Structure formats: structure tokens, C-alpha cells
């Protein structure tokens, strides 16, 4: 019989240096501040644990090509086109290296690629006549009192992203498109200014 292998006794990760720990703490503060109102600090710390699992040498990056595998392991089912899109966006040089801030942005970029067939019906619960608009106060009341409730910060962030008309209504199809359509990058070009004489 072959000898039993001790689970978890594979090659050890190199220990992080004090300099790495300090840089990582600063980076985490920036990421938590950047995504405040979108992700909780616990969510970000959880994402960092996952990231560290795949950063096997403690070098501060994972392979971009592992993103799909990681997401599938977590129970997501990303489309290949979405993986390629975020790969191009966050690893444009095709180095196959993704740092933690880009890892978070990539996951959020992929998670937001849901279809209107999945989201619009949820809004239509509040719009039985299917007019495409619902009362902002009604939806906020539901989001802060039913199911997985939003806290005050999340509710404020949600409301701040609504275009509420004079009647207190917002167009949920427009709202949906704002968060699900890929953002177009602005082309860099020379600014036109006054010519010097």
C-alpha cells in the first residue's frame, strides 16, 4: 500500500516580509475605501483570503487565466466573453498577472453582467402594470425591510444612483442599463486648446 499523504503538507508559502505586510495593509485600506457602499470590509477581506489562496508564492498577484476557475469554484457561472472582456480590461498587456484591486474590479465587472430577463422581473413585482417606472420610496422601503436588507449606507448609495422624477418615480430599465452595460473607455487623445501665437 502507498504511504498516506498528509493533507495540507505541500510546499509552504514563503512568509510575507514586513514591507509586504505594510504595503498590503495600505492597499486594503484603499480598496475598502474605493468600494465603500458597494462591498463591506468583510466582503473585501473574504475576497482577499480567496486571492491569497491562489497567490501561492505571496508575490501579490494571481494568474488572470485562473479567474474563471476561481469564480466557478465560488459557485458563479461566468460567460467566457465576460472573462475575456475583464481580462483585456484589467490585464491589457496580457501578462497573466492580476493584482488584488484588479481582482476585485474583475469580479464586480463579471457579476454585473446579468441579463434583463433575470433582473427586470424583480422590479416588475413593484410595477404590476409594467409601465417601466416604480416609486422610489416604495422600493427603498422594501429593500431596507424585507429579505436581505440594505443598511443605511447601502440604501443611500442605491438612492443616490436613482434618477427620481417630480412624481417620485424612477425608470428601472434605465437604472438596470446603467449598472449592467459595459463601461466604454474614453479614447485618449490630444486636448484641443487655443493655439499659441
**At residue 54, does pLDDT exceed 90?**
yes
pLDDT by residue (tens digit) across 118-152?
A: 667 878 888 888 888 998 888 888 888 877 777 88
Phi then psi for residue 163, to 5 deg, are: -100, 95
How far apart CA 130 and CA 125 sit, in angstroms, is 9
How far apart CA 85 and CA 108 sit, in angstroms, is 12
Phi then psi for residue 33, to 5 deg, are: -65, -40
Q: What mean pLDDT is predicted for residues 27-33?
A: 92
pTM for the structure as a whole = 0.53
Q: What mean pLDDT is predicted for residues 58-63?
A: 92
How far apart CA 78 and CA 70 sit, in angstroms, is 10
Asked if 188 and 181 count as a contact pair (C-beta separation under 8 A), the reply is no
Amino acid at each position: 500500500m502507498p504511504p498516506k499523504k498528509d493533507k495540507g503538507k505541500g510546499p509552504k508559502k514563503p512568509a510575507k516580509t514586513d514591507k509586504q505586510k505594510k504595503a498590503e495593509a495600505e492597499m486594503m485600506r484603499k480598496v475598502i475605501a474605493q468600494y465603500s457602499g458597494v462591498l463591506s470590509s468583510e466582503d473585501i477581506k473574504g475576497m482577499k483570503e480567496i486571492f491569497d489562496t491562489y497567490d501561492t508564492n505571496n508575490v501579490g498577484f494571481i494568474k488572470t487565466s485562473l479567474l474563471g476557475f476561481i469564480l466557478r469554484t465560488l459557485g458563479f457561472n461566468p460567460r467566457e466573453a465576460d472573462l475575456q472582456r475583464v481580462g483585456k480590461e484589467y490585464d491589457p498587456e496580457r501578462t497573466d498577472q492580476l493584482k488584488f484591486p484588479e481582482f476585485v474590479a474583475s469580479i464586480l465587472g463579471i457579476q454585473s453582467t446579468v441579463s434583463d430577463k433575470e433582473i427586470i422581473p424583480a422590479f416588475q413585482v413593484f410595477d404590476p402594470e409594467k409601465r417601466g417606472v416604480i416609486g422610489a420610496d416604495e422600493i427603498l422601503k422594501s429593500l431596507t425591510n424585507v429579505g436581505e436588507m440594505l443598511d443605511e449606507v447601502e440604501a443611500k448609495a442605491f438612492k443616490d444612483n436613482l434618477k427620481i422624477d417630480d412624481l417620485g418615480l424612477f425608470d428601472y430599465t434605465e437604472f438596470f442599463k446603467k449598472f449592467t452595460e459595459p463601461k466604454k473607455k474614453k479614447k485618449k487623445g490630444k486636448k484641443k486648446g487655443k493655439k499659441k501665437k
